[in-house]
Structure 1
């Protein structure tokens, strides 16, 4: 008989690991034995680090698992593993390298290794040509830094790692630099390192000589998710869900159609739809990173120099132009050479020309010299808004000019706007709508340069707004529109029956408009009284003339008139009554008054407008100084400002509530491409919209079926109806029979007989 080996612990490491975790002191000798075994194997492994050692692999994981049980004895163990990875990182066997990294991760999770040492080592291991290892380290670094900063920010660790990553971005190894950049972008996206230092470190990567790193940094600032792998995963999930849905529909086609199977299919499709919605992740926008840049002027100038010298692909240049335009527009920078550079891309046949037009509008602001923007607008007008181009190109050009004018009103000249306004009469709806949009924009900013017929009815906002000269600030010491709150207060007081006579005195200004209105009303009453007197006098004269005309004849012929004119040099001496003389005097006085009134109407109106504007300004200033506004107050003020822009002084029709809310949306910092491509025409239906129109047309339509309904709806079905619901295998033998199929000749004969029979019946 063979002697059994009862002590199997030295060879069975998982069992020894389990026992040590339960009672470490009892198995201390076995632990020392395995630790000495590890050191001896380590010395042997250093001579051939490129070969795989199974015993060393198992011993490393064994010691990492029980490291918390013997912390004093295993003080040097993490240092052994780190030295191996540092010295032989590129020559190590991939399996051994992964095992050592997993051992360090395990000890880091137990708090036995400081985070800085492990994370700096892992950043250096990004240089290894092992894709699986790089992905594992990337995920661990991101999750570990997030866990460290979950409860409170660890400023010391963050600053140390950020400085180290800044050095890693300049590393000669492209893969290591790219992975370090991806880590910083992911941490910013997860709001772990969402600070100015991270944004500025990422901005340095925009000047990298490696195109992949430069594009990743620019995409971060443009708000595009640079994680292509996640996009590919989501695409794969979408394809998988579509495939599952198609499989369900295909399986439903086979077999008998029952209500139970249909309900089961609908439930399965709803579950797939919900799962797809959960998996979807919205688009990321990192607009806040643009505001955190310390020196945007220097950054934009350096980027523009790089753009002029670079020989990259067209798509990369477009991304750089987009980034520069956002910097210029948001921070209101002066980059005067950027506008002539972008003009060479403004041709209708240029690739992605709508994006270039968007970038041109994005880079304009009030502080840019109007001459530069005027040349830009003229370039767009000459290249796009011409009769030789298509209607879409003209509409796109008009939309671009509208957005540029909205941001820099001084750039639009009177001759150009009057020329572009003529396109409102175009037969193409896209062109006419774009031209009307441009007219509306100029009408709100500077209506004086428009033709009189294009200015429309005067609104309150048009009276209050005036285009300041170039460079003048638009700062105000009050909140415009705050006078609405005073008006609402007075209205509510009037409804409750309270008097508001002293309200104007409380605010400290004199109601001159009210006095002038009273004076005008008194003048009108006097004029009405004079008119009544004149009418009465005229009626009395007519009565007297009727009495006196009894013995007189009216001269109608020219000869009789000549006879009358021979006496006193052509004059007829007529005696006037006292009433007639009074009427003549009153008419002359009235004519003089009318002339004075006509001359004074314009002065009164202008004075009223000025006084009302001063009133509103004083009320708004008083309310702004004395009150703390709530969100409801801001909503009321915004609504009043919108009504000023929309409603004329003489309002004809009420605006829609939804239209008011849409107009209340402010113009954002980042423009959308839809503002340039806003072409008003009937677009081609996609599948969803086409199906919706099809279903909408079926609502009021009669259902398909037999033309003559059954007399008794509960009657039994015919054999033909029953055959529709039968399985194909049950009726296959009948369909394949030749006697059930007629030849072409038989059909001809049957048609001939039917026509002859019909003809005979018609004769009878």
Structure 2
């Protein structure tokens, strides 16, 4: 037998690995020979750990691949690798270090070693100056913890790792602390570690002296990374739209391939193009994250006070300070905190020339709630009025200031005094449309909140909602004993299959029409209305007390469904448009779309200046095409009643070549001379005389 065909198992590790996996018992001696070879090379490697040894590299991966076949023989193998990485992690050759980590990953995937020791070791390896290694370990740590908690939460492992990572966040190595924080944030985003302990461990990083760690932790709470991903995806979409214009559709590709000559090369090219098109469509699926971590903080009051103290003493750049102001304002608004030193601190930056001043106005509005003392917010409103809402500024600056005042007043109506409000209302007739619309929006707000502060001419027509409005003082809470607007519902309660119980809602409500006029001799005026009007407002003739009683009975005697809440929502919206005075007509009803996320303040509400933006060509063309939908096509001249009818010779001549019809153009009736007209007139007169 030649040397080429002879089986060289001792030196051919891939072949031996394949044979061992097929029949472990028959090749145990060969494996033990290689394992002893590994031990001898390991002893030599301890003498010079910084050198690269190819033999040891191959033997480590070989043993890790077949370790499940001989678990007792390789029981010391994982400990060898862990000790080697702990002692010489920073001085090891990067290729050898990656090999040892890959071997441990293989052993962990085969459940030959526990997760706790390996993951803690990998966290410590974040200190190594090896970017590829850190990226590999980061991906594996996240995926391994996800797999461990796949079926059910492993509380013991999670607690151990969270305590270890809490110490890693305080590590002197900045890279290791940053990577540990990134792992916790990624696990929270994937809903693996979404408990309060994880959130509060991440919150400790907000007080780090390292700017990168501080910014990463605050971005997690503020959800900025989602916005950044959206911005990146928007920029990528613009590039992809340009590519998509030149990209053929799948239908065009299939038709083109059908017409051309059929060959195997063209068929493979078509399959690759269709596969690439599928990948292109899958690439742009948007990811959604749930950032509810602000609600899971243990002591938000103490946390915000420490953060404000850090903000006042920090020397970070302005962008970091702006992020900290945003974080504190969200904490104040969400949890209803008392942090009175925050408002004077932000007032120093409320100048029209200040960079990112609209964001600062947004943060003041975010930090407003009804428990803040009105005099504190009134000083902030006065600063905005003096610096923004003055005639020396441009219309856009004044509109931004009025919008900011409106958002602050929406969260704390008592912050705006009657004198200031009436001064702002005077801008409702301003020549600048942006200022005028901002002032009218402020009037509309106080019509719903506290119309008594407005002048009588600005209160508008009284509606049902204004009658039910209760003016609250500082510290008062609006408590309800029933669902507002539940009086619109009937008193039926579903009990089972087809069984219903009709509850008596109120005897006064049923007999209200009987008590109006007891005199039988008088005529009774009956209001005839259609069934549609009756179903729209079945409680139109009830007093406020009766409506309140009926709402309480309905709320306590039946379970409300989603359809019931939708009906209540439309009824409450109708109250804002219908007049409360009897004998007068209704206002024009406008459907009010109540947004579920209306409590979340967006920057567009401050920067909304009600000016017509300049449209590009694509947006203008889109509006033109949208206006043409559902409309007959415009044509020139009279059209045939039957589009399938034949054409006249005159119409056919229009489509012919000029040389074909030019000889007919000269055949026109010329003008008659005076003599011809005279003779024709003579003949006509003679003809008429003969007839008579």
Q: Give the TM-score normalised by structure 2.
A: 0.80
Query: Shift of residue 380 of structure 1?
Result: 1.2
Query: Shift of residue 632 of structure 1?
Result: 1.3
SS at 2:38 equivalent:
helix
- What is the match of residue 290 of structure 1? 294
Per-residue CA distance 1:474-533 (angstroms, 9 max, x = gap):
1222222111114x97xxxxxxxxxxxx997x53658896577427999999xxxxxxxx
| Closer/same/farther in 2, CA of residues 173 and 357 from structure 1, 3 Å limit | same
- What is the match of residue 396 of structure 1? 400
- What is the match of residue 82 of structure 1? 82
Which stretch has the larger CA shift, 60-69 or 147-156?
147-156
- What is the match of residue 655 of structure 1? 589
Name stretches of at least 5 consecutive residues in structure 1 with no aligned partner. Answer: 250-256, 262-266, 490-501, 526-608, 704-708, 720-764
- What is the match of residue 189 of structure 1? 189
Trace 1:125-274 onto structure 2 (pairs within 5 A): 125-225=125-225, 241=240, 244-245=243-244
- What is the match of residue 670 of structure 2? none
Q: CA separation in 1, counterparts of 2:516 and 2:272? A: 74
Per-residue CA distance 1:582-601 (angstroms, 9 max, x = gap):
xxxxxxxxxxxxxxxxxxxx
Which stretch has the larger CA shift, 267-276 or 627-636?
267-276
Per-residue CA distance 1:665-710 (angstroms, 9 max, x = gap):
356442111211122111011353133246568996779xxxxx99
| Closer/same/farther in 2, CA of residues 154 and 678 from structure 1, 3 Å limit | same
Trace 1:43-58 onto structure 2 (pairs within 5 A): 43-58=43-58
Contact 1:223 1:284 survives alignment (8 Å)? no
Q: Are residues 1:645 and 2:602 paired? A: no
Q: CA separation in 2, counterparts of 1:317 and 1:286? A: 25
- What is the match of residue 686 of structure 2? none
| Closer/same/farther in 2, CA of residues 690 and 401 from structure 1, 3 Å limit | same
Query: Shift of residue 178 of structure 1?
Result: 0.6
Per-residue CA distance 1:333-373 (angstroms, 9 max, x = gap):
00011111111111111111111111111111111001011
Contact 1:330 1:669 survives alignment (8 Å)? no
- What is the match of residue 65 of structure 1? 65
Q: Structure 2 residue aligned with 1:434, among 413, 435, 438? A: 438
SS at 1:410 equivalent:
helix
Contact 2:509 2:542 survives alignment (8 Å)? no
Q: CA separation in 1, counterparts of 2:56 and 2:658? A: 82
- What is the match of residue 640 of structure 2? none
- What is the match of residue 350 of structure 1? 354
Q: CA separation in 1, counterparts of 2:64 and 2:588? A: 76
Q: Structure 1 residue aligned with 2:560, among 622, 629, 635? A: 629
Per-residue CA distance 1:625-655 (angstroms, 9 max, x = gap):
2222111111111221111123322443432
SS at 2:292 equivalent:
helix
Q: CA separation in 1, counterparts of 2:84 and 2:242? A: 48
Q: Structure 2 residue aligned with 1:677, among 585, 601, 607? A: 607
Q: CA separation in 2, counterparts of 1:677 and 1:232? A: 19
- What is the match of residue 549 of structure 2? 618
- What is the match of residue 252 of structure 1? none
Per-residue CA distance 1:90-128 (angstroms, 9 max, x = gap):
000000011111111111111101111111111010000
| Closer/same/farther in 2, CA of residues 269 and 676 from structure 1, 3 Å limit | farther
- What is the match of residue 727 of structure 1? none
Contact 1:325 1:360 survives alignment (8 Å)? yes
Per-residue CA distance 1:55-105 (angstroms, 9 max, x = gap):
000000000000000000000000001111111110000000111111111
- Tell me how large the CA RMSD over aligned residues is: 3.6
Query: Shift of residue 270 of structure 1?
Result: 11
Trace 1:454-493 onto structure 2 (pairs within 5 A): 454-486=458-490
Q: CA separation in 1, counterparts of 2:235 and 2:399? A: 38
SS at 2:218 equivalent:
helix
Contact 1:423 1:431 survives alignment (8 Å)? yes
Q: CA separation in 2, counterparts of 1:47 and 1:20? A: 32
Q: Are residues 1:371 and 2:375 paired? A: yes
Q: Are residues 1:320 and 2:254 paired? A: no
Contact 2:329 2:364 survives alignment (8 Å)? yes
- What is the match of residue 517 of structure 2? 518
Query: Shift of residue 50 of structure 1?
Result: 1.0
SS at 2:607 equivalent:
coil
Please say which structure displays the higher CA radius of gyration.
Answer: 1
More helix by share: 1
Query: Shift of residue 282 of structure 1?
Result: 3.7
Per-residue CA distance 1:391-421 (angstroms, 9 max, x = gap):
1111111111111111101111111111111
Q: CA separation in 2, counterparts of 1:389 and 1:4? A: 91
Q: CA separation in 1, counterparts of 2:363 and 2:158? A: 36
- What is the match of residue 332 of structure 1? 336
| Closer/same/farther in 2, CA of residues 623 and 423 from structure 1, 3 Å limit | same
Q: Are residues 1:507 and 2:500 paired? A: no
SS at 1:323 equivalent:
helix
Contact 2:57 2:99 survives alignment (8 Å)? yes
